Amino acid sequence: MPARNDPQVYARRLRAVLINSIPVLEARGIVIVLMAGLVGIIAGALVTGMSELVQGLHFLLFDVQPGGRLSAMFSLASPVQAMFPAIGGLVLGLSVIWLRRRKFRTPVDPIEANALYGGRMSLTDTFIIVGQTMISSGFGASVGLEAGYTQIGSGIASRLARAFRLRRNDVRILVGCGAAGAIAAAFDAPLTGAFYGFELVIGIYSVANVAPVMTAAISASLTAEMFGGVPFPLELSGLPTLTASQYVPFLLLGLLGGAASIAIMNLVSLIERGFARLSIDASLRPFIGGILVGLLGLVTPQVLSSGHGALHREFAMNYGLAVVASVFVMKLAASAISLGSGFRGGLFFASLFLGALLGKVFAGVMAMAAPTTGIDPAVAAVVGMTSLAVGVVGGPLTMTFLALESTRDLTLTGVVLAASIMSAILVRETFGYSFSTWRFHLRGETIRSAHDVGWMRSLNVGSMMRKDVRTIDASTTLAEFRKEIPLGSAQRVIAVEQGQHYVGVLLVPELHSDLSDGETPVQALAQFKDAVLVPSMNVQSAAETFQRAGAEELAVVEDFDDRIVRGLLTESHLMRRYAEELDKARRDLSGEG
């Protein structure tokens, strides 16, 4: 037994006192803004640190000099360096085996956390994603670090919010602040970061959210500058004046960007399915993908890593149409292979680079087909960059502000926004998902944005049904039913077979007024025989079942196979509970109550 003056005893007691003394903080206004500023500072520092570590890996593995970029190299210094993506795949494969043995679940990212879990994120998930993303990009796989950036910013924010026991909506806002700070620090673009937080992670723009999200974005950007983060600005000079007649070709480019984004997302899924059909173990897929990416890197290093250096090269140099088109195809293949084979990362920056290449290809084709339009390749590259990225990442305002903050050219904003909206409309109407939500769809999730639907999922049939349901054997005759259940004793009874298996719903007033023979079994008069609910159904699915059946009440069964009766739910009770929860969610969002 430890002594009373043991330092460890005092430490445990102090920790318990501190934890128990933290109040359930109803934090609003200035408190949330201050916490958002702290989140931004932490996100800016961590993003800068991650970037420097990956640059250090590029220096060690690919001999990239300080200040240089892997994708900006004209060729690899040695063919041996083409092996490093495969080696990174081996390291990543070992991490997959380690996680599988410890039965880790699929990590939750900021969008999923805010949509389903009230912003709750695991730091274990966060560090897994960050580590795997840095390995993937550091060894040259064609993926970006932005997924890791937003994960670390949001993960830290979620943990901080929950340490102070903030309420659900405040946690979601701080998670958005973390993501906003991460993107702002990565691109030195506070407005881009803020609208990334609004459009993609919080899921809604409101006046109440402006102060904390902007505070986080500005704090992160300033912190990254202080720690020596590399800014993203694209140096464009001598751009021609845009005319109204040029809007039509650029709107067409926006549609092409949206179509290309859909093709990219489908290509990634196709490659994933290809590996699955080949029965290649998940731990070996990154190694095989790394071999293919390394071979492409031998042709041009522009396909390696995220593509920051390659993007700046494309704006600085005037390559021929054939060269630009070939780089587009190879970068598309490298990114799809990297993600489809299991490398961790995202398509954020890859979509910017691919969009810029698409824009230059478009300008080259227009110069041959319709030279009178006067499409400038640099302007087309910016429009293509944002249009394709909107389709992949989502968030037309996010990408519009990225174009504005990276080019510092206000005249481009109008055409960029118009083309981005065209891309977003095309993707939403024909495909329905961005890359992030498409990945959820492939896992069986149905969420399409970060809008908070977690409370709706918790409001399921099992939590709303009445369990004191009255049942009767389906073979009971109508005369026996009238004796056993007098008029007024119940509104409805469930007809069941042996073992409480569901047959149908019996409406008591109707059976008492029925003119059928008294020997008729009640089974013949049962309604809604094929319409039942199960306890796991959410409110939306249950409401759709009521509408299809045209019923006011339905039985709840254990599952659709055995159909053992567990309870009863009325449509009026379902809609009343839904309205109550919706009103509560709105009050939380507005800060009332």
Q: Decide if 189 contacts 397 (C-beta within 8 A).
A: no
Backbone φ, ψ for residue 454 (5° rounding):
-60, -40
Helix, strand or coil for residue 108?
A: coil
The reported pLDDT for the residue numbered 587 is 58
Query: pLDDT tens, 272-328?
Result: 889 888 888 888 999 999 999 999 999 999 999 988 889 988 888 888 899 999 999
Compute the C-alpha angle 221/184/341, nearest 5°: 135
- Adjacent-strand bridge partners of 477: 521
Question: What CA–CA distance (Å, rounded) separates 49 from 510?
Answer: 73
pLDDT tens, 335-383? Answer: 999 999 999 988 899 999 999 999 999 999 998 988 877 788 889 999 9
Residue with the bigger pLDDT between 158 and 592: it is: 158
pLDDT for residue 304? 94
Is 0.75 topped by the overall pTM?
Answer: yes
**The token pair that represents 320 in the structure block:** 């021929």
Per residue in 381-397, pLDDT (tens digit) is 999 999 999 999 888 99
Cα pseudo-dihedral 385, 389, 390, 391, rounded to 10: 120
Structure token pair of residue 585: 């969610």
The b-or-e profile of 332-350 (16+ CB within 10 A means b, else e) is bbbbbbbbbbbbbbbbbbb
DSSP letter assigned to residue 117: S
Q: Would you call 526 exposed, middle or buried from its count of C-beta atoms within 10 A (0-12, 13-18, 19+)?
A: buried
Whether the predicted pLDDT of 18 surpasses 50? no
pLDDT at position 584 is 64
**Amino acid 303: pLDDT:** 94
Which residues, 6 or more positions from 114, have their beta carbon under 8 angstroms from its beta carbon?
172, 175, 176, 201, 202, 203, 450, 452
* 538: exposed, middle or buried (Cβ count in 10 Å: 0-12, 13-18, 19+): middle
In this prediction, residue 583 carries a pLDDT of: 65
Given this model, what pLDDT does residue 438 score? 65
Tens of pLDDT, residue by residue over 410-463, are 888 889 999 999 999 999 888 877 777 766 655 555 555 555 555 556 677 888
Q: What is the overall mean pLDDT for the chain?
A: 85
Q: Which residue has the tokens 């522009």?
A: 302
